[in-house]
Chains A and B, each alone.
Chain A
Amino acid sequence: MSLVIKKYCSIVTDRINVDGRTVFTPDNQDGFKKFARAAYRHFQTDYPKFFKMDSLSKLGFLSVEVLLKGENVLSKHSIEKTGLILTNASSSLEIDEKHWDTIRDRGQYFPSPSNFVYTLPNIMAGEAAIRHEFRGENTVLISKAFNAELIFNTADLAFKTGALECCICGWVEQYGNKYESLLFLVERSEHENEEGKSEEDVIFEPSILLKIYKRERAWKN
């Protein structure tokens, strides 16, 4: 079984690329919140709940939204076997700290319900799954840095066990105005030859994931 990267999307500080080509940069660089709003409008998204999400969920939502633009994965794959495997380093730390600020002083104990509901990174995957009606496995794993092996091994296992037949996987990292994401749309190859290797597709394997990650971040350095 060969797994292939059908498409990939990166967001690296104020730039959105799809398959290596830039599809959006805002007019001004004013931090994540304004970037997220500008991107939402640019892609003519109609999902008012977006504005109520925390920043991590907004980044995950936008990344999945752009990745799946023009794709109709549910026309080819089971709703129960389409899922998300996401990774990041900061978990949901930004909103965790925001929540902590509302409860640390017992005399000013006013926890915000709308903050509290985002104090888990899995909510990011859940928001994207709800939006696209995916009911397959979804999870968020934490690693210190972009970890191609972790992404590959987890997704590969989900395919091998039959849990997924289509997977959106990758890296969605955000804390304050430092943010970046790289998501891959992964499916089984439709073009396998006799040796089981694909000729036209980008093979889903750790070395390729790392190569793409480094290339997408290169302009920033």
Chain B
Amino acid sequence: MEELIQKLKVEIIEVLNLEEMEPEDIDSDDPLFGEGLGLDSIDALELIVLLEKNYGIRIEDPKDGRKIFFSVRTMAEYITENQK
């Protein structure tokens, strides 16, 4: 799990152009949206594409996004549970 979390941090920094950040700047349990990294709606779409492109996971119900993308850890847990 920790390995996947680290990989996700690198991928998130890359796809969201968080040029000023290093993986260690992202707390695995901090909220990605709102007070945490301050991501916006375009970033949310980019994370959905990331899951599908890099992990083959398609989110069927957009309402699930709030739970899945709460933090890097919740993303990693979702990937672990759903990757074929």
Residues of A within 8 A of B (CB): 37, 48, 51-52, 110-114, 117
Question: What A residues does B43 contact at CB under 8 A?
Answer: 114
Q: Which residue of A lies closest to B44 (CB)?
A: A113
Bound-state CA distance A82–B46 (Å) is: 34
Q: How far is the CB of A72 from chain B (nearest CB, A)?
A: 27
Q: Is the CB of B49 within 8 A of A51?
A: no
Question: What A residues does B59 contact at CB under 8 A?
Answer: none
Q: How far is the CB of A59 from chain B (nearest CB, A)?
A: 16
Q: Is the CB of B16 within 8 A of A114?
A: yes
Question: What A residues does B20 contact at CB under 8 A?
Answer: 48, 51
Residues of B within 8 A of A (CB): 15-20, 38, 42-43, 45-46, 49, 52-53
Q: How far is the CB of B65 from chain A (nearest CB, A)?
A: 13
Secondary structure call for the B interface: helix
Bound-state CA distance A114–B45 (Å) is: 8
Q: How far is the CB of A111 from chain B (nearest CB, A)?
A: 7
Q: Is the CB of B19 within 8 A of A114?
A: no
Q: Is the CB of B17 within 8 A of A114?
A: yes
28 CB-based A-B contacts, threshold 8 Å: A37-B19, A48-B20, A48-B38, A51-B17, A51-B18, A51-B19, A51-B20, A52-B16, A52-B17, A52-B42, A110-B49, A110-B52, A110-B53, A111-B49, A112-B46, A112-B49, A113-B42, A113-B45, A113-B46, A113-B49, A114-B15, A114-B16, A114-B17, A114-B42, A114-B43, A114-B45, A114-B46, A117-B42
Bound-state CA distance A113–B16 (Å) is: 10
Bound-state CA distance A113–B53 (Å) is: 13
Bound-state CA distance A112–B52 (Å) is: 12
Bound-state CA distance A112–B38 (Å) is: 19
Question: What B residues does A112 contact at CB under 8 A?
Answer: 15, 46, 49
Q: How far is the CB of B55 from chain A (nearest CB, A)?
A: 12
Question: What B residues does A37 contact at CB under 8 A?
Answer: 19
Q: Which residue of B lies closest to A53 (CB)?
A: B17
Bound-state CA distance A113–B42 (Å) is: 6
Q: Which residue of A lies closest to B49 (CB)?
A: A110
Question: What B residues does A51 contact at CB under 8 A?
Answer: 17-20
Question: What B residues does A114 contact at CB under 8 A?
Answer: 15-17, 42-43, 45-46
